[in-house]
Amino acid sequence: KQWYQRRVHGDGSEFDGMIEAAAALPRKFGENSWWDDGQKREDLFKSIDDNNDGAISFDEWLAFVLARYKALVAALPKTPEELEKDAFVSLCKDAQTPGSDAAKTMYFFHWKSFQAADADRDGKVSEESLI
C-alpha cells in the first residue's frame, strides 16, 4: 500500500521525479501549471498525503492526479455536442467566418461525423451506408 515514502533526511528528489514524470504528458499539450499552483514541493507532498502518515500511497496519488486531470478537462472548451442551444446557434453563426476558431470547430465536428458514416474509409458515403 505504501507506494512512495519520502525519505526523512532526503532532498525530495524522488518525489520531484514522480511529479515531473506525471507532469510530462500535460506539458506536452501546453499545460505547464499541471501541479504548480504556487505550492512548495513540501506543501504539495503534504496535500497529497491525505492521511498524514508521511507517505503517499498509490490511492492517494491516483486521487491527486485524477483531480488535477478533472480540473484540466473542465477548463477545455465544450464540443458542439455538449453546448446548450443558444451557444450552439452562436457557434454556427461564428463558423461562417472562414478560418475562425468556430469554423475550425465545426469543420472538425463534421469531419468526425463523415468519418463515422464512411465505414469502408473510401472517402465517400453511399446511400447504403446510411441504412
What pLDDT was estimated at residue 2? 46
Q: Residue 18 CB: number of other CB atoms within 10 A?
A: 17
What pTM did the predictor assign? 0.54
The helix or strand, by DSSP H or E, that contains position 85, with its residue range, turns out to be helix 85-94
The phi, psi pair for 56, rounded to 5°, reads: -110, 115
pLDDT category of residue 88 using cuts at 50, 70 and 90 = very high
pLDDT category of residue 6 using cuts at 50, 70 and 90 = very low
Give me the amino acid identity at 111: W
If you search the block for the grid coordinates 473510401, which residue do you land on?
A: 122
Collapsed DSSP state (helix, strand, coil) of residue 115? helix
